[in-house]
Structure 1
């Protein structure tokens, strides 16, 4: 009797993949797509819990959820890195990582002296 598909399972999977792919775009798009994927996952999971035997694509829904969590984590880490780089060096540090490394080395040497 497993012939029906959950309505948002494919969308959750695509949004989960795109949250990983978009994590390098300053973090924000990856976080947004991950949040949308988790919201849609929650809707589909409620539908699935009502009649488990009716649906056959719950595995892709779970995979999309996992990918969106990974994408949101990576996006958050990248956003934190950008905020750190901006606070240490300024706007120039975002385009030139060697400036950021020099600033960190100076700070480290100053604190250890």
Structure 2
């Protein structure tokens, strides 16, 4: 009997990658990471029932690891943003961004 690919194994991997790429986009990466972890949990349960029927479990494991990394990086970034807004406020944050863009343009 031919092995089937685990459902959503590639999508889990893609969402894991997107969670890391989107970690600095004010929480977008965390959304992808949570979706990927939930899908990975379902795929893992399906694989553990009949491991001889499915392939692509490596994509699921890799996507889950990337999602965990994406959650950690996203949480660190969100904590940083909250800290910046709490200390300097919105106006101070905008001034910092303006200084950075002026420095990069010179």
- Cα distance per residue 1:19-66 (max 9 Å; x no partner): 00001111x111111000000001101110110111111011000000
Shift of 1:8: 1.3
Shift of 1:3: 2.1
Equivalent position of 2:29 in the other structure:
30
- Runs of 4+ aligned residues of structure 1 deviating over 4 Å after TM superposition are none
Q: TM-score normalised to the size of structure 2?
A: 0.85
Equivalent position of 1:9 in the other structure:
9
Cα distance in 1 for residues equivalent to 2:71 and 2:18: 10
Equivalent position of 1:103 in the other structure:
none
Q: Which has the larger radius of gyration?
A: 1
Aligned-residue CA RMSD in angstroms?
A: 1.8
Q: Show structure 2 runs of 5+ residues with no match.
A: 100-106
Task: Give the conservation status (yes or no) of the 8 Å contact 1:82–1:94.
Answer: no
Cα distance in 2 for residues equivalent to 1:7 and 1:87: 44
